[in-house]
Structure 1
Amino acid sequence: MAFNLEYTSKHRDVTYAMTVVADDDGELGIELLGANDRGTVVAEGALRLPPGGATETAKLLREALGAIAGFEGKRIRQSVGNANQRWTRDQDITLREAWLSHPPTAPATEVIRTLAAERERTPAAIRARLPRLGCDPDVTGRVLTEETAALVGRDAIAG
């Protein structure tokens, strides 16, 4: 499927324009041009990506540009490896088992942080997923009852 996308952004006196063109085979062409208010080109570059190469290239560029921004004294918020990825049935099963394996005395926030790091998810994603698996996100090792499910929200299911 062929398509063209154009993005622009302005920072201080430089306007950046990015054009993405996909051909019928799925190959991507990406061109970047940055010009100041006087029309002087201050940034330019081009990439050619094979079909299916955009996701990994985007991750690589984000990491590289984040590191470079650090040299400029800026910080780019890094995303977690599996952020925005769908949960699989196996992931749900192992998360539920891991949560229920902890004693109720274990601090929930620490367990959530550990589970998040192991799964390359954010703590918020883990906490949001637990009720959907029938787990009480406030007490480790505990399943939701009908009463606690009603408090946690509409997506909570007793398990």
Structure 2
Amino acid sequence: MAFNLEYTSKRQDISYTLTVTADVDGDLAIELTGKDDDSVLLAQGNLQLPPGGAAETAKLLRDALVAVSALDTKRRSTGNAHQPWSAEQDSTLREAWLAHPPTRPAAEVIRELAEHRRRSAAAIRARLPRVGCDPDVTGRLLTETTAALVGRDAVVAS
């Protein structure tokens, strides 16, 4: 039986497309592409599998990708971890937070800000109240009420 399947996913501004095609003999062709928002090709790969080869290949790929992901996570250290924050870094963090609409999930924006600043998401979340921003609602400043809820280092926005 011949068929064609297509799966898509987006992660860190890269749109991934995985296309699986089977011919009448059961041979599989798998193509992966990854493109940025400007349609620049950043990832590409092809597999040709014989009938019955998908399950074992999937196990091998999963094991290999889990191992590579672990290495990649160690390699992508938060280069500014434990470094003091400058007034300029505080200012740009505040501006970046306030530039996002409240409809964007806070956790997603915090991860983006962390990656861009080479700090952990926890560091960004902890710093936001110190610059007068509500870490739970993207684009929102702290009020007296929300500052009391966030903690002792929170600064009420002026």
1:129 corresponds in structure 2 to 127
- Aligned pairs for 1:1-159 within 5 A: 79-159=77-157
Deviation of 1:150 after TM superposition, in Å, equals 0.2
Q: In the aligned structure 2, how far is the partner of 1:76 from the partner of 1:140?
A: 26
Deviation of 1:74 after TM superposition, in Å, equals 9.5
Q: In the aligned structure 1, how far is the partner of 2:145 from the partner of 2:79?
A: 34
* Residues 84-112 of structure 1: per-residue CA shift (max 9 Å, x gap): 00000000000000000000000000000
Deviation of 1:153 after TM superposition, in Å, equals 0.2
Change (3 A) 1:132 1:74: closer
Q: In the aligned structure 2, how far is the partner of 1:150 from the partner of 1:75?
A: 39
Paired AA for residue 111 in structure 1: V
Change (3 A) 1:113 1:76: closer
* Residues 34-93 of structure 1: per-residue CA shift (max 9 Å, x gap): xxxxxxxxxxxxxxxxxxxxxxxxxxxxxxxxxxxx8xx999956410000000000000
Q: In the aligned structure 2, how far is the partner of 1:74 from the partner of 1:93?
A: 33
Q: CA RMSD in A?
A: 2.3
* Residues 115-147 of structure 1: per-residue CA shift (max 9 Å, x gap): 000000000000000000000000000000000
Instruction: Give unpaired runs (5+ residues) of structure 2.
Output: 1-66
Change (3 A) 1:143 1:75: closer
Q: In the aligned structure 2, how far is the partner of 1:156 from the partner of 1:131?
A: 4
Instruction: Give unpaired runs (5+ residues) of structure 1.
Output: 1-69
- Give runs of ≥4 in structure 1 deviating > 6 Å: 73-76
Paired AA for residue 130 in structure 2: R
Paired AA for residue 139 in structure 1: V
Aligned identity (percent) is 67
Q: In the aligned structure 2, how far is the partner of 1:89 from the partner of 1:149?
A: 20
Deviation of 1:154 after TM superposition, in Å, equals 0.3
Q: In the aligned structure 1, how far is the partner of 2:129 from the partner of 2:86?
A: 16
Q: In the aligned structure 1, how far is the partner of 2:96 from the partner of 2:73?
A: 32
Q: Report the 3-state secondary structure (helix = DSSP H, G, I; strand = E; otherwise coil) of the residue aligned with 1:141.
A: coil
Q: Report the 3-state secondary structure (helix = DSSP H, G, I; strand = E; otherwise coil) of the residue aligned with 1:139.
A: coil
**TM-score normalised to structure 2 length:** 0.52
Change (3 A) 1:112 1:75: closer
Q: In the aligned structure 2, how far is the partner of 1:105 from the partner of 1:84?
A: 31
Deviation of 1:151 after TM superposition, in Å, equals 0.3
